[in-house]
């Protein structure tokens, strides 16, 4: 059976790690590149606030070629689409035909991704789609993955929450209405060990920082979904060892 040459939209977090795990075990797909958007102003993973050095250490441990899409701090939608399209065109020229994502529930975002990719003849695959998030998180932990919370919406969480390594007790202690996988943007993580890594990624916990932003007018996958004009995010800086 011929495998579909696939690139994976790698966020550095737990959902990406589990989705990639599924893909690597699926005979239909051949994952040959990871793509991550990076905030060029801070040199960190977009939304997650993770240092680029840790992202590189992580993708090296996955032993899959990785590329960065550098974006300014607050890119326009037009700029984002132009950068993404240039990447898709490049990958198409190399024989890629599929794009994979770790999304679970966000219908509008899935439709957007599919429509954008269809323009270049790509198909999208969502290995975690519509799966129960509590079951997914338990499976993630049972498989031996390890992940730490790097940022969180201050509407739900305080400073103590970021820098927490997720364990089996995590789900039972979440505030009411918060998705166990943070699928509505409540929190984001950094996956630093697991069965798809050739080695764990070493780091130490740095300072914790609170930042406030203007709420985007349209943003389907933000750590900061909010009904107010401003939203707050707690970040935990992780320092490479």
Taking only the tens place, the pLDDT of each residue in 88-136 is 999 999 999 999 999 999 999 999 999 999 999 999 999 999 999 999 9
Based on the domain organization, do 95 and 158 belong to the same domain?
Answer: no
Instruction: Average the pLDDT over 9-13 and give the result.
Output: 98
DSSP 153-199: ETTT--TTTTTPBP-TTTGGGSPTT--TT-TTSSEEEEEEESTT-SS
Based on the domain organization, do 35 and 110 belong to the same domain?
Answer: yes
In sequence order, what are the beta bridge partners of 71? 39
Which CATH number does the domain housing residue 102 bear?
3.40.50.620
Instruction: Average the pLDDT over 8-37 and give the result.
Output: 98
What count of other Cβ atoms lies within 10 Å of the Cβ of residue 29? 19
**Looking at the 3D structure of the chain, how many domains does it have?**
2
Based on the domain organization, do 12 and 100 belong to the same domain?
Answer: yes
Q: Is residue 65 part of a domain?
A: yes
Q: Which residue is it, tokens 């995010």? A: 233
Based on the domain organization, do 11 and 118 belong to the same domain?
Answer: yes
Based on the domain organization, do 33 and 120 belong to the same domain?
Answer: yes
DSSP 90-115: HHHHTT--EEE---SS-HHHHHHHHH
Instruction: Average the pLDDT over 83-87 and give the result.
Output: 96
Based on the domain organization, do 98 and 153 belong to the same domain?
Answer: no
Based on the domain organization, do 112 and 8 belong to the same domain?
Answer: yes
First to last CA, the chain: 42
Based on the domain organization, do 166 and 226 belong to the same domain?
Answer: yes
The whole model's pTM is what? 0.93
Element (H, E) at 87: helix 77-93
The domain boundary residue, chosen from 125, 154, 189: 125
**What contacts 10, CB < 8 A, 6 or more positions away?**
16, 20, 34, 35, 36, 59, 66
Q: In terms of Cα–Cα distance, which of 223, 184, 17, 189 is closest to 106? A: 184
Based on the domain organization, do 119 and 230 belong to the same domain?
Answer: no
Q: Which residue is it, tokens 């995590």? A: 170
At 213 the pLDDT is 83
At 73 the pLDDT is 81
Based on the domain organization, do 8 and 121 belong to the same domain?
Answer: yes
| Residue 56: domain span | 4-125
At 222 the pLDDT is 42
What percentage of the chain has pLDDT greater than the value 70? 94
């Amino acid at each position: 059976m011929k495998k579909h040459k696939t690139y994976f939209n790698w966020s550095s977090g737990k959902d990406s790690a589990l989705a990639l795990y599924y893909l690597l075990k699926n005979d239909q797909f051949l994952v040959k590149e990871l793509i991550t958007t990076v905030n060029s102003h801070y040199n960190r993973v977009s939304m997650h606030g993770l240092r680029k050095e840790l992202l590189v250490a992580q993708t090296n441990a996955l032993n899959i070629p990785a590329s960065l899409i550098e974006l300014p701090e607050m890119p326009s939608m037009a700029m984002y689409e132009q950068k993404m399209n240039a990447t898709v065109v490049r990958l198409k020229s190399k024989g890629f035909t599929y794009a994979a994502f770790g999304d679970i529930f966000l219908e509008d975002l899935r439709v957007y991704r599919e429509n954008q990719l269809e323009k270049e003849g790509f198909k999208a695959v969502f290995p975690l789609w519509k799966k129960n998030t509590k079951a997914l998180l338990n499976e993630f932990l049972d498989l031996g993955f390890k992940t730490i919370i790097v940022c969180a919406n201050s509407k739900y969480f305080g400073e103590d929450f970021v820098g927490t390594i997720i364990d089996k007790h995590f789900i039972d202690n979440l505030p009411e209405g918060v998705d166990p996988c943070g699928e509505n943007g409540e929190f984001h993580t950094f996956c630093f060990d697991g069965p798809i890594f050739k080695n764990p990624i070493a780091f130490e916990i740095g300072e914790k920082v609170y930042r406030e932003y203007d709420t985007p007018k349209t943003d389907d996958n933000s750590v900061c979904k909010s009904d107010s004009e401003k939203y707050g995010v707690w970040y935990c800086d992780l320092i490479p060892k």
